[in-house]
Amino acid sequence: MCRKFAELFSLLAAQEHANAQLLVFANKQDMPNAKSPAELTNILDLGSIKNREWFICGTNAHTGQGLYDGLMWVKKQMKA
């Protein structure tokens, strides 16, 4: 795992976050060099997270694209 993301996995391993889900907004999808959600899933090694629900969605904060999808995922998680 990349040292840059060690903090993310450290937070996820903390007991006080044992029941937390993870939402990742892959912002700036309108930029030509933006990493896709699939690429970021690999870079962040999200597939290795087996003990909680997680979701990644591409977003563009300027247009709002993808924000609704992320917030609806949170709503679904809160109902579960």
- 22-68: pLDDT as tens digits: 999 999 999 999 999 999 999 999 999 999 999 999 999 999 999 99
Name the token pair of 60.
């563009």
Residues 6-25: pLDDT tens digits? Answer: 888 899 999 999 999 999 99
pLDDT at 78 exceeding the cut of 90: yes
User: Was 30 annotated as part of a binding site?
Assistant: yes
Question: Looking at beta carbons, which pairs linking 56-59 to residues 24 or more positions away fall under 8 Å?
Answer: 56/23, 56/24, 56/25, 56/26, 57/23, 57/24, 57/25, 57/26, 58/26, 58/29, 59/25, 59/26, 59/27, 59/28, 59/29
Looking at residue 21, the DSSP 8-state letter turns out to be -
Radius of gyration, alpha carbons of the chain: 13
What pLDDT, on a 0 to 100 scale, did the predictor assign at position 64? Answer: 95
Matching residue, tokens 């924000």: 67
Domain boundaries, the chain: 16-79
Q: Known binder of ligand: residue 19? A: no
Q: Is 15 annotated as a binding residue?
A: no
CATH code at 16-79: 3.40.50.300
- Is 27 annotated among the ligand-binding residues? yes
Return the structure tokens found at 26: 């892959």
